[in-house]
Structure 1
Amino acid sequence: MIQGAEPGYPATVFDDFRLDRVTVGDVSVRFRHGGAGPPVVLLHGHPRTHTTWHAVAPRLAREHTVVLPDLRGYGGSTLPTDRPGHTQSSKREMAGDVVRLMAHLGHDRFAVVGHDRGSLVAFRTAMDHPEAVTHLVIMDGLPVVEHLERTDVTFARAWWHWWFLGQTDKPAERVINADPDAWYETPGPEVIGAGNHADLWAALRNPAVVHGMCEDYRAGLRVDREHEEADRAAGRQVECPMLLLESEHDDLDLHGDPAKIWAPWLVRPLRHRVVDSGHHQAEERPVEVADAIGDFLRTAVR
């Protein structure tokens, strides 16, 4: 493993966190880790990197060992060669990365938190590895199949990027890489933190990362749905306690009450909390998010 900043990815302010890289399976994962106590892994969403957690992670590290990887294909983590059906970017493969990374660090049981696309990876980790996941926190996410089975003109209009990034006839990479600064709109460094902003934009201007993000969505419309359909048919459910953090000023409720949509997937009753935030909760309301996660991890008994 290595320590320190990597070329092309500016250092960010993570006091007492170590920046490392390790090969797990067929990918090289860039990650940070710090703190002490029961382990928790934080998984970012699209188009962010692990630095989106820069204001949440230090607060959780007061009581927990906190691990923050870049998902495969995102940020500084690699993506293997494309496979038929985009299976190299399935959430099952990403969940395997998480479990192997945590095992490498000596953690065979851990809590997992996921936001946006990271919520799909967190969900898959809990479904595929119930013996490893002690607690599950989902931030602004639903199972893919629940979205796709409810697709209508309202969903397609609001979440059109799913279809744009996920199609293959005219790859989205050509459009995005032609002018990533025009394609992606993010808050400035004064809002999301200078280090986080720099790290994010280093990734967004990297064609390999853009391809990795598109492959994530392509897998979501295909193999990830198949995995969830198989889970549902077999009656598999999340066994550990789960907390849903829903942004008050986003549209997770586009299909109705997200708590009711999640209920059939869970063995235990859902904990549900609304955060006074837009979509990027960790950047907009880090104290509230860290407090909610910390309270859940302390009080929800496996």
Structure 2
Amino acid sequence: MFFEGFALDRIDVGNGLRLRVRHRAAEDPGDGPPVVLLHGHPRTHTTWYAVAPLLARRHTVICPDLRGYGQSDKPPSTVDHEPHSKRAMAADVAALVTALGHDRFAVVGHDRGAYVALRTALDHPDRVERLTVLDAVPIGEALRRADARFAREWWHWFFFAQTRKPAERVINADPDAWYLAREEDLGAENYADYRRAIHDPDTVHAMMEDYRAGMTVDRAHDDADRAAGRVISCPTLVMWATRDDLADLYGDPLAVWRDWAPDLRGGPIEAGHHIAEDNPAELARRIEEFLAEPQSPPSPPKS
């Protein structure tokens, strides 16, 4: 069954902005913190349809469409792209969890959702208990390391970020030809939801604004944190797909993350880029194992 037992709501997260969200209480309440699952581009929350029920056996699971994506509200664009920044999206996540009656939570992010998950852990350290990142390094780190190979393989970052010749015009001319996803890979309901999103010009515009924020305000936030020595205060799990190019670009992705996450673990997982759709059982198993790890004792205060 597609998201069996999950409620589907639209929840106000402040300033009149509502997120579409599926959520379900744990079968065994109190066994662990709520888990927020954040999708990437150009997916919606339905990308987690096979993972979320597995995690819901022990955890309350919350799956929103990020602001601008899917059927969540789309804030008006501004010249500085701040309404589509990861900081704004992270504030949405924190407000959403509060609205659902929880304080502390774990967050899992894939692709663009990974940047939101990172920003949530950095901006709300008193609330995020565990961070899981899938197929990503921090935006500031990616741009700092960008070379000819990155430009060749990830050229869409630069294309999507343009404003004088907006990418929306190209994508909206034939969204199916641009994104090339197949129903047999996504599942019927997930594919229908994804396809509804990519055929909505307002959603496509908001997704491009996500990338424009990435090149500007999001990078500035990452660089400011790096300069200030801010790090992730919670245990962090990083995984990357064996059939994607993160390891090709960065060698050991954990080496990139060590300056950001002192309590770090992770490794590759057998999958293509869309891990939740390619290998949901293994992904859910690894997330569950990570969430079940004993909490490390706090470091003693410095003398």
TM-score normalised over the length of structure 1? 0.94
1:160 alignment partner in structure 2? 155
1:247 alignment partner in structure 2? 241
Q: Tell me how far apart the structure 1 counterparts of residues 227 and 42 of structure 2 sit (CA, whole Å).
A: 32
1:231 aligns with 2:225: yes
Q: Tell me how far apart the structure 1 counterparts of residues 12 and 244 of structure 2 sit (CA, whole Å).
A: 36
1:217 aligns with 2:211: yes
Letter in 1 for 2:80: G
1:281 alignment partner in structure 2? 275
1:203 to 197, 201, 205: 197
* Offset of residue 112 of structure 1: 0.1
* 3-state SS in 1 of match to 2:240: strand
1:28 aligns with 2:23: no
Letter in 2 for 1:278: G
1:96 aligns with 2:87: no
1:122 to 106, 117, 123: 117
Deviates more, 1:161-170 or 1:21-30: 21-30
Letter in 2 for 1:252: L
Counterpart contact for 1:241–1:300, Cα < 8 Å? no
Deviates more, 1:254-263 or 1:118-127: 254-263
Identical-residue share of aligned pairs (%):
56
TM-superposition CA deviations, 1:85-123 (whole Å, max 9, x none): 101000000000000000000111000000000000000
* 3-state SS in 2 of match to 1:297: helix
TM-score normalised over the length of structure 2? 0.93
* 3-state SS in 1 of match to 2:239: strand
Any unmatched runs of 5+ in structure 2?
297-303
1:298 alignment partner in structure 2? 292
1:61 to 33, 56, 59: 56
Q: Tell me how far apart the structure 2 counterparts of residues 46 and 280 of structure 1 sit (CA, whole Å).
A: 10
- How many residue pairs are counted as aligned between the two chains? 289
| Aligned Cα root-mean-square deviation (Å) | 1.0
Q: Tell me how far apart the structure 1 counterparts of residues 88 and 294 of structure 2 sit (CA, whole Å).
A: 28
1:48 aligns with 2:37: no
Q: Tell me how far apart the structure 2 counterparts of residues 155 and 234 of structure 1 sit (CA, whole Å).
A: 27
Letter in 2 for 1:285: N
1:19 alignment partner in structure 2? 8
Any unmatched runs of 5+ in structure 1?
1-11
Q: Which 4+ runs in 1 deviate beyond 6 A? A: none
* 3-state SS in 2 of match to 1:222: helix
Q: Tell me how far apart the structure 2 counterparts of residues 109 and 267 of structure 1 sit (CA, whole Å).
A: 20
* Offset of residue 187 of structure 1: 2.3
* 3-state SS in 1 of match to 2:286: helix
2:137 to 117, 124, 142: 142
Deviates more, 1:73-82 or 1:89-98: 73-82
TM-superposition CA deviations, 1:11-42 (whole Å, max 9, x none): x8110000000111232100000131420000
* Offset of residue 300 of structure 1: 4.7
1:105 alignment partner in structure 2? 100
Letter in 2 for 1:84: V
